[in-house]
Amino acid sequence: MVVVTGASDGIGYICAQQLAAMGAQIVLVGRDDGKCSDAVVALQNTTGNTNISFEIADLSLLHDVRALAQRLLDSHAHIDVLLNNAGGYFQQSSLTLEGLEHTFALNHMAYFLLTDLLLPSLAKAKQGRIINVASRAHRHASLNFEDLQGKADYDGWPAYCRSKLMNIMSTYALARRLEGTAITANSLHPGFVRSKFGHNNPGFTGLLVRASQLLLAISLQAGAKTSVYAASAPELVATSGLYFNKCKAAASSPASMDVAAQERLWQISTELAASIP
C-alpha cells in the first residue's frame, strides 16, 4: 500500500497514477475533498486500478497530521511506501493556527511527524520505503538554530530552501535510526517542474514562477520519475540514506551532511512535535 501526500494534482498525482498503473493500492492525501474525489475517479479510469482512495488533511497542522496517521493505522494492515510529496512556497509570512511558520510546518514538520507516526505500519511491510521529496534548492540554504522557522526576518524563497534542506538532513538522521530494519529512507530532487507550485503567491512572485515554469520547467511526468523510481525500483530494496537526482544517487550540499546539525534538527523537531498535541 502506498500513501502519497499532495496527490490531488501536480507531481503527486502523476506519481500516484504511475504507481497505480503498476498495481499498487494507493491512498491519496490532500486538503480538498472535491479535488481528491475527482482525482480518485480519474486515476481509476486511466489505470483500471480501483484500489485507490483518499484521506483529507491540512498537513500544515500537526493535529491534522496526527489524525491522518491514526486513520491510516486503523484502516490498513501495513504501509509499503510513504511518499512525502506535499509542500509549498509562500512568499508572504503567515503562521498556522498552531503558531508555526507555514512553510516550516507544511514542508518540514508534516514530513517529520507523519513519518514518525507511521513507522509501526511501515515496519509491518516486507520492505517499507520512506521517500521525502526535497529540492536542489536546498543548496542555497543553511540553518540558523536560533531562529529555525525564520520568523524574525521572513523571506519566502530562503524559507523554502531551508525547508528542503531540513527534508534532506532529517532523512539522513532517520536512515541512521532505521539501520538494521527493513525500512529505508531516501530523499530526492524531482527537478524544476511545470506545475501549480508557487501559483498561490500574488503579484510579481506568482507571475515570475509561472513565467519561469513556461520557459525552463520539465513536464509533470518527468518530475515524477525519480519519486516513482525511489518508490518501486527493486534494486533499491536495501538502499537507504541517499539523495537522488534524475534516478541516480547524487551528492547533497555540504551543509546537509553535517551530522551534528542533523541530530540537533532531529531533537528540536521531536520536542516541537511533542509540544503540539
Give the catalytic positions in this structure.
160
Query: How far is 76 from 51, CA to CA, in rounded Å?
Result: 12
Q: Which amino acid appears at position 118 of this protein?
A: L
Q: What is the DSSP letter of 106?
A: I
243, 177, 231, 4 alpha-carbon torsion, rounded to 10° = -100
Contacts of 84 (CB under 8 A, 6+ apart): 5, 110, 111, 114, 115, 130, 131, 132, 133, 167
Q: What is the DSSP letter of 237?
A: T
Nearest CA among 28, 36, 11 for reference residue 213:
11
